[in-house]
Structure 1
Amino acid sequence: MNLEKVKSVFFIGIGGIGMSALARYFHANGFIVSGYDKTETVLTSELITEGIAIKFNDAIEEIAPEFLNSATTLVVYTPAIPKEHKQLNYFVDNGFQVKKRSQVLGMLTAAHKGICVAGTHGKTTVSTMIAHLLKQSKVDCSAFLGGVSQNYKTNLLLSDTSDYVVLEADEYDRSFLQLQPYFALVTSMDADHLDIYGTDLEIKKSFQDFASLVRDGGVLLVSHKLNNSINSNKGVQKLTYSLDDEEANFYASHIELKNGKYCFDLNTPEGLFKQLTLGIPGLLNVENAIGALALAVLAGAQHQELQDALLNFKGIRRRFDYQINTDDLVLIDDYAHHPEEINLTLNSVRALYPNRKITGVFQPHLYSRTKDFYKEFAKSLSQLDELVMLDIYPARELPIEGVNSEMILDLVQLDKKMVSTKDDLYDHIKALNPQVILAMGAGDIDKEIQKLVSKFKEN
């Protein structure tokens, strides 16, 4: 990739969480930045406010003149964009420098010390935690995050002094195989994206391929559960982390829940880091924190720095995100969109509210994922007390005949369960007299949650 002559960067799918971070990066570095997205979102509104022009029509005429010179324009696109996209085809047909998002991130990891976090779930939380821990230490870092940090209100962090760059290593479309990590962390390898991989075995192979990309002198850190499933190259140190397994190199001990927050000691090869308190709820986040703390220790962060930073960590937008938290009603918004993620999130909510009724609101994400895992979704959702489902969010996909939310609902073992339209969602939930609402999904359910919050506060 040649950036020497590039003056303008055009993003196709600019509103995506990963794409928007890159757009902000180029904008901050003095490039002219613009882009296309299908729909207006909170993120696109923020980018427009920051001075980045965005169009919501893929007509060639919508491309501004500054982006029509193939010698000075870089085009970045997400693999979620359909092949028939007019603007993408125009740029390809006319000899522009056109790159996938992952290729641009690969360039950044080649030029810096990349801290790359992979996993079918947990990677956004862990990478954001790592970035925060390093930002609050003398180590510092830049970061391209897969979620909006509540501490910094953005998904892009920049540093003038640190060579570390933290980012998510996305397994979708094998994107993470473009990266050149210095540190790599793998949280999980559950079956997912079977429309891309075909089999669980191919997913595992792809993660092993990712692990083999770690540079000489670097570190591969994996969840202890994956210790026998993934290996490192010669010249790369392999370490493990766990919630509480003493065979791991990094693990927690003396875990206690105090006033809704988890406190613990961190056992490391360098000694015991005592009295750490996690600023966000959820036992699943304690395990995420162990992985993030381990990486921060390896990068050189000190005990007191980590102690202060972990307590002050405020979480990520749409990750175990409290929207209402009163004595009468709790509403938690979470990005969970895989059966295993639902299990982890629900277990954490049960631990916090053992004697309260939990009402789930779930929007399935993708027809292909629903088709592949509808039985597993039903089993996970059956752990709720009652369930309201929305229709499937298609994202990049066309409908698959016979695949719908009812496939899941029919197998859910609950007395109170239903599929609702978005217009009727508040009325259906209100009629259930909820105590704790757990809203989950990776589609546009966040827009409906904001409507729910407004209506509950009105009433």
Structure 2
Amino acid sequence: MNLETIDNVYFIGIGGIGMSALARYFHANRKQVSGYDKTQTEITDALSDLGISIHFEDTVANLDSSLLNANNTLIVYTPAIPNDHKQLAYFNNNNYKVMKRAAVLGLITENTFCLAVAGTHGKTTTTSILGHLLNTCNVPVTAFLGGISENYNSNLILNGTDVTVVEADEFDRSFLTLSPDLACVTSMDADHLDIYGDAEALKNSFEDFAKKIKQSGKLFVKEGLSLQGITYGIDTKSDYTAYNIRIENGTYVFDVKTPKTTIENIQFNLPGRHNLSNALIALAMAVEYGCPHQQLAKALASYKGVKRRFSYHIKTDSLVYIDDYAHHPEEINAVHQAVREMYPNQRVLAIFQPHLFSRTQDFADDFAKSLSQFDEVVLLDIYPARELPIEGVNSGWLLSKIENENKQLISKAEIISKINESHATVILTIGAGDIGEEVKHIKQSLQYAS
């Protein structure tokens, strides 16, 4: 399909983080962009501020007259949209060009030099670091991010169209629509078993993704994974290795050995070894692309992070409040490691909202083990997202598995009172559901109390 012939782009699920980045992209390219979403959020408000028309009721009557011409209109939808969605059914039944978000991303990137970041953890942070590095090095790049970059206050970096940086999402096997020039795999831990069935099928999908890389391209693989490629790791004998790691004034300072040389005294401001690993692979891909080492080091030092990825909302000597998107046991382990490294001997309260009944069921024991590491654990009800309940799978069941006496199940309305009762000096909110909507209220309450 030739996107040049498209005048109107309509998004069903426009408030999704990946969908909204595409909406921004088409709007910047002077297409008429509009869309639907179930709920109004900060993301939809930001799109509306750009002049993008959005409504929140699933009815064909809300469609603008500009969308009546099927020949010059593209409909983009997310897999989270149910099959009985009225607008989606209308477009499918009236010969519109209807495509999943991932397929559209594949179209946009196929005639560019594409750098793709795959993995069950770390995609968004790694992609945003890589986009920032290339942009700062004046590469004509468009980067589609799965989160809001603190550097750009956007999930789209737009500095040209020759090069693209994208998240290669394993959900629904979406990443198989891409044909990247450079790609990395950060992790292959079992996840999305509601889609894949078992861990072996997930692994096979990553192997299929590796085969999608162009013949002249390169694959980067975290040390220890079963795929073949350029390896990277921390304190390892990988092709790209971060070593001599120390913390100076709350900042990582480290050296990197590349296949050809050593880059010394690199600074990186995000806490946690998982973020250090993300920084390393982004740096490695930018080096292989051809960016100057010293310019890259300066760019990495200026990287500020992604909203809801270990995002500080309060950071004083007496109280720290951090919000994080972690929704898998390994991601919660990474948050715990970062907190303990940055705030040793301090009492930590973790408030976690499980995401998906199926994920909670599949990894209940691992969730319990990861959450038990915190001094206090508070659970919210499971955020269902696209799923119907599973009998016997609920937060009370998960709570019973946590081997920590300081545990409790509460409602969202009780979060602030629970925090006020706690003697913890480090507060964490964790999860991929709507717990992020509570952050501003929690922050306001903590600031008022202090």
Q: TM-score range with shorter-chain normalisation?
A: over 0.9
- Counterpart residue number, 1:230: 227
**2-structure distance, mates of 1:427, 1:74:** 47
- Counterpart residue number, 2:232: 241
State yes or no: 1:202 paired with 2:201.
yes
**2-structure distance, mates of 1:310, 1:410:** 43
**1-structure distance, mates of 2:240, 2:3:** 40
Is residue 36–residue 57 contact of structure 1 (8 Å, CA) maintained in 2?
yes
**2-structure distance, mates of 1:283, 1:4:** 43
State yes or no: 1:426 paired with 2:416.
yes
**1-structure distance, mates of 2:140, 2:271:** 25
- Measure how far apart 1:140 and its partner are: 4.2
**1-structure distance, mates of 2:162, 2:210:** 21
Q: After the TM superposition, which residues 351-366 of structure 1 pair with which residues of structure 2 at under 5 Å, given as runs?
A: 351-366=341-356
State yes or no: 1:412 paired with 2:402.
yes
Is residue 323–residue 331 contact of structure 1 (8 Å, CA) maintained in 2?
yes
- 1:158-192: CA deviation from partner (whole Å, max 9, x where unpaired): 123x6220010000000000111111110000000
Gapped regions of structure 2 (runs ≥ 5): none
- 1:268-311: CA deviation from partner (whole Å, max 9, x where unpaired): 01200111000222222111111110001011111211111111
Is residue 17–residue 147 contact of structure 1 (8 Å, CA) maintained in 2?
yes
- Measure how far apart 1:4 and its partner are: 3.6
- Counterpart residue number, 2:431: 441
**2-structure distance, mates of 1:388, 1:346:** 15
- Counterpart residue number, 1:235: none
**2-structure distance, mates of 1:130, 1:389:** 34
* TM-score of the two chains, using structure 2 as the length reference: 0.98
- Counterpart residue number, 1:272: 262
- Measure how far apart 1:61 and its partner are: 0.6
Aligned with 1:385 (options 375, 391, 399): 375
What secondary structure does 1:111 align onto?
A: coil
**1-structure distance, mates of 2:182, 2:53:** 35
- Counterpart residue number, 2:26: 26
- Measure how far apart 1:2 and its partner are: 3.0
- Measure how far apart 1:430 and its partner are: 1.2
State yes or no: 1:117 paired with 2:117.
yes
Q: After the TM superposition, which residues 128-147 of structure 1 pair with which residues of structure 2 at under 5 Å, given as runs?
A: 128-147=128-147
- 1:88-142: CA deviation from partner (whole Å, max 9, x where unpaired): 0100011100000000111122110110100000010111000011111143421
- Counterpart residue number, 1:106: 106
- Counterpart residue number, 1:49: 49
* TM-score of the two chains, using structure 1 as the length reference: 0.96
What secondary structure does 1:177 align onto?
A: helix
**2-structure distance, mates of 1:368, 1:411:** 17
- Measure how far apart 1:448 and its partner are: 1.2
- 1:249-283: CA deviation from partner (whole Å, max 9, x where unpaired): 00111100111111000100120011100022222
Q: After the TM superposition, which residues 319-358 of structure 1 pair with which residues of structure 2 at under 5 Å, given as runs?
A: 319-358=309-348
| Root mean square deviation, CA, Å | 1.0
- Counterpart residue number, 2:217: 218
Aligned with 1:288 (options 263, 275, 278): 278
Identity of aligned residues (%): 51
- Counterpart residue number, 1:314: 304
- Counterpart residue number, 1:182: 181
Q: Which amino acid is 1:230 matched to?
A: L
State yes or no: 1:66 paired with 2:63.
no
- Counterpart residue number, 2:167: 168
- Measure how far apart 1:225 and its partner are: 1.6
Q: Which amino acid is 1:217 matched to?
A: S
Q: Which amino acid is 1:158 matched to?
A: L
Is residue 367–residue 392 contact of structure 1 (8 Å, CA) maintained in 2?
yes
